[in-house]
């Protein structure tokens, strides 16, 4: 976690120029980020962080690298005494512990950028592990999207069909088909283990539900078929399209699993 904080560094909301006023009408100002040296030069207090939620400031390097309880609120919790903020900042940035913490911060940041830390090998392994799990997550997302698009179950025989909340994906597919209006049907018959003829129903349509128009094919369901002739398949198809509230007159193409049925 320290390595991540060092690599990302403290983040400032540059849109915050002034904070809310306290009971003494004093408040945080962005001018506190700048330190004026004795020779008149100005430098950035890159360690100083202002929390909008807390309306307080704290020291990034001391928060990350301090050991034990240090002296001053900038090192421990945070500081919001705006009447004495200038004095406290000067006192803190010249303190020995702060200077040491700043040196540790800068050195570690440099070594991380050059990949020259003492734990270089573990860092490389951690990087490879992160990349591995990113790829795993991408595959999981792809699987979920595939199953959703084709209305396939996650757990096979354990899925309970025709129950409440089972059919959300189907509803979305039908909505897209109706939005496109015209569609094609693809039917394919295969006997299952009980020798019952089953016909898969796939609808091909133009998906215009998003900015990028695409042609999609969505599996809707398996249908039990007793008559595999062209007329028998048509009767089953006609009945199922009616159940899906799809108008068969909008069908603009048909595809079947053999030439005789096509004829």
- Domain boundaries along the sequence of the chain: 2-117, 163-262
Q: What is the pLDDT of residue 219?
A: 87
pLDDT at 240: 93
Q: CA end-to-end span of the chain, whole Å?
A: 68
Mean pLDDT by 10 residues, the chain (263 residues): 84 88 90 87 89 89 79 73 89 88 87 70 72 88 82 58 62 90 89 77 91 88 83 88 93 79 65
Question: Which pLDDT does position 177 carry in this prediction?
Answer: 94
User: What pLDDT is stored for residue 244 in this prediction?
Assistant: 92
Question: In 3-state terms, what secondary structure has residue 124?
Answer: helix
Q: Give residue-wise pLDDT tens across range 83-138.
A: 889 898 888 888 888 898 889 888 888 888 777 665 666 666 777 788 888 888 99
Q: What is the pLDDT of residue 158?
A: 47
Count CB-CB contacts under 10 A for residue 6.
22
Cα angle 216, 219, 223; round to 5: 150
Predicted pLDDT at 260 = 65
CA dihedral 135, 140, 145, 150 (to 10 degrees): 130
The answer to whether residues 245 and 176 touch, using CB atoms and an 8 Å cutoff, is no
Supply the pLDDT for residue 215. 92
Q: What is the pLDDT of residue 251?
A: 94
Claim: this prediction has a pTM higher than 0.75:
no
CA 252 to CA 78: how far, in whole Å?
69
């Amino acid at each position: 976690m320290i390595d991540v904080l060092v690599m990302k560094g403290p983040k400032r909301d540059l849109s915050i120029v002034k904070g809310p006023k306290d009971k003494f009408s004093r408040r945080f100002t962005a001018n506190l980020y700048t330190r004026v040296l004795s020779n008149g030069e100005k430098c950035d207090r890159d360690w100083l962080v202002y929390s909008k939620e807390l309306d307080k400031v704290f020291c990034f390097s001391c928060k990350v690298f301090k050991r034990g309880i240090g002296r001053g609120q900038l090192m421990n919790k945070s500081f919001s005494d705006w009447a004495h903020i200038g004095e406290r900042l000067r006192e803190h940035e010249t303190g020995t512990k702060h200077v040491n913490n700043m040196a540790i911060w800068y050195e570690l940041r440099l070594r991380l950028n050059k990949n020259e830390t003492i734990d270089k090998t573990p860092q490389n392994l951690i990087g490879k592990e992160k990349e591995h799990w990113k790829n795993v997550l991408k595959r999981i997302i792809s699987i979920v999207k595939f199953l959703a698009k084709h209305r396939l179950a996650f757990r096979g025989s354990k899925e309970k069909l025709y129950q409440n909340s089972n059919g959300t994906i189907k509803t979305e597919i039908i909505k897209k088909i109706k939005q496109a209006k015209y569609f094609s049907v693809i039917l394919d018959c295969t006997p299952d283990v009980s020798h019952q003829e089953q016909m898969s129903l796939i609808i091909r349509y133009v998906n215009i539900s998003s900015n990028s128009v695409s042609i999609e094919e969505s599996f809707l369901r398996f249908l039990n078929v007793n008559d595999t002739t062209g007329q028998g398949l048509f009767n089953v198809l006609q009945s199922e399209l009616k159940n899906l509230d799809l108008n068969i007159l909008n069908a603009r193409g048909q595809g079947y699993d053999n030439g005789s049925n096509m004829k």
